[in-house]
Amino acid sequence: MWVATAEEMRRLDQAAINEFGLPGPVLMENAGRQVADAVRKLTGEPRSRVITVFAGKGNNGGDGLVAARHLLNQGAEVKVMLLVAPEEVTGDARLNLDIWRKMGQKVYSLHQGDAINIVRLVLMNTDLIVDAIYGTGFKGKVGPRVGQVIDILNASRKAIVSVDIPSGLEADTGRVTGPCIRAAQTVTFGLPKLGLLLEPAVDYVGEVKVADISLPAVLVEREGLRRRLLTAELVKGWLGSRAPAAHKGDFGRVLVVAGSRGMLGAACLAGNGAARGGAGLVTVAVPESLAPIAAAKLTEVMVLPLPDGGTGVITRGARQEILTFMEKCDVLAIGPGLSTVLETTALVRELVTAVKVPCVVDADGLNALVGDTGILRRAQAPLVLTPHPGEMARLLDTTTRKVQENRLEAAETAAADWQAVVLLKGARTIVAAPDGQAYLNLTGNPGMATGGSGDVLTGLVAGLLAQGLSPARAAAAAAYLHGLAGDIAARARGMMGLVAGDILEALPLAARELETGEGS
């Protein structure tokens, strides 16, 4: 499913009106009816229900007025609270305000006077609130009076349905700089808006429902959108099915260079992640002094001992052995638990520019690149980088807070600059490609915030790359499946105490759920 910015959505709406002759009031009617339908599904039969609609002066307010009319016709008691003077309402919204009044319905204006007490009084006898104050054009911070109203609505603990986007949230960034509606459900029109899917919007949007308002599909196809929401249908289409006569050689060979003394588990999780991701053959290369331990832990994955001089850390002298072994491999994954000693850092930098197959770089592999990301542009083969926000901040020479404030921009800018696919981990994982394409992922849960979870993801990306997916699709599919596996594990075990091994074990179940469409 494509994701749109406010401007992209505005262009689609205008094209539908100007080129296809779909009148603005028709689009508003479709939008308002969808909101009314969402309210009805939340509250049940509208009769005897009291619905209060808080409307602004623009099209968002007009959508709310249409919803008010339909809910009234279905038997609900509906009150419309206007946040501006009635004469400020113009265009298609004015048309629907006039219709509301011709139906003999009152409009309560909150733009002056004792607005706050009126709101408190009205909410005492309200079952559900419709938020139609600000739409996708909103930026910055709401004014003091509106801010007071929003705070009261949130404090009422009444269910709130937001029209297109919660009022106070920026459509393109998900940024909140003042009071903002905390919705139980957001009914967004045509396509999901970018900001609804980014942090910190997750705390405000509730359940996001994408509603059809009859925009011609050809408009979306020609708009040249470049960001997509990862869905089961999309990822399933990338993975395909296996031929009955397939053998392990058909699904690629992965080498994982990882691990050091005290961090061997990271190497094992990454190796098993590649195997669970479907790679035909997986080898984990670890320091030779730790190889017997790795071999004891790994049964389905092979072990390659590399020189460590007895230190428990892979030395720079392992370079040629790795490159020779890579001649029979399809993918290299490097970094989990590798350590940041100087020799290992030098080894990572040399391998990144020397390998001739796709390479996944994570953890200490990323740390080795800090201060010298220009080296990435000298790579001979595609790269996938999988940083968490702290690693991303170090690579960009900024702070974690600044990365988190605009995750999408950070990932897209880095991908273009480094000419690599960037998978920025977090509550809303983002995958950005050098060509400007980006994917946003909604699977996963807070229980996955546990040591080793990222190592499993590294292996999974490598496993999908080995099976022939492009770097961007391999990273995006891995993000989706990894999160889905975490969700399956959480359903079975709960979030508290969830460990990386639980995610690993759930990966085949995630693949099955994706294939069949049935939850486990």
Task: Give the CA distances from residue 80 to residues 133, 174, 180, in Å, rounded to whole numbers and listed in that order.
Answer: 11, 27, 20
pLDDT single digits (tens) 335-344: 999 999 999 9
The alpha carbon dihedral of 216, 222, 225, 231 has a sign of: positive
- Residue 22: pLDDT band by 50, 70, 90 thresholds? very high
User: Is the CB of residue 271 less than 8 Å from the CB of residue 502?
Assistant: no
pLDDT of 202 higher than 90:
no
Strand ranges across the sheet with 438-440 = 227-229, 438-440, 430-432, 421-424, 383-385, 359-361, 331-334, 253-257, 281-287, 302-306
DSSP E strand stretches across 347-497: 359-361, 383-385, 421-424, 430-432, 438-440
Q: What angle do CA 470, 471, 476 make, to 5 degrees?
A: 100
pLDDT single digits (tens) 498-515: 999 999 999 999 999 998
- Residue 519: pLDDT band by 50, 70, 90 thresholds? low
Residue 197: closest CA among 408, 405, 7: 408
Of 9-13, 56-60, 103-107, 113-117, the least confident: 113-117
User: Is the CB of residue 510 less than 8 Å from the CB of residue 483?
Assistant: no
Q: For 298-369, where are the alpha helices, taking DSSP H only?
A: 319-326, 342-354, 364-367
Task: Give the CA distances from residue 309 to residues 287, 313, 397, in Å, rounded to whole numbers and listed in that order.
Answer: 9, 8, 33
% residues pLDDT > 90 (the chain): 91
Q: What average pLDDT does this structure show over 107-116?
A: 84
> Domains of the chain: which residue ranges?
6-225, 232-238+247-514
Q: What angle do CA 171, 172, 175 make, to 5 degrees?
A: 75
The pLDDT of residue 520 is 47
Residue type, 205: V
The alpha carbon dihedral of 171, 82, 30, 161 has a sign of: positive
CATH superfamily of 232-238+247-514: Ribokinase (3.40.1190.20)
pLDDT single digits (tens) 354-409: 999 999 999 999 999 999 999 999 999 999 999 999 999 999 999 999 999 889 99
User: Is the CB of residue 261 less than 8 Å from the CB of residue 293?
Assistant: no
The pLDDT of residue 394 is 97
φ, ψ for residue 129 (rounded to 5)?
-110, 135
The residues with which 421 forms a beta bridge, in sequence order, are 384
pLDDT single digits (tens) 447-485: 999 999 999 999 999 999 999 999 999 999 999 999 999
CATH topology for 6-225? Rossmann fold (3.40.50)
CA 314 to chain CA centroid, nearest Å? 35
DSSP E strand stretches across 165-272: 185-189, 207-211, 227-229, 253-257
The pLDDT of residue 199 is 85
The pLDDT of residue 241 is 84
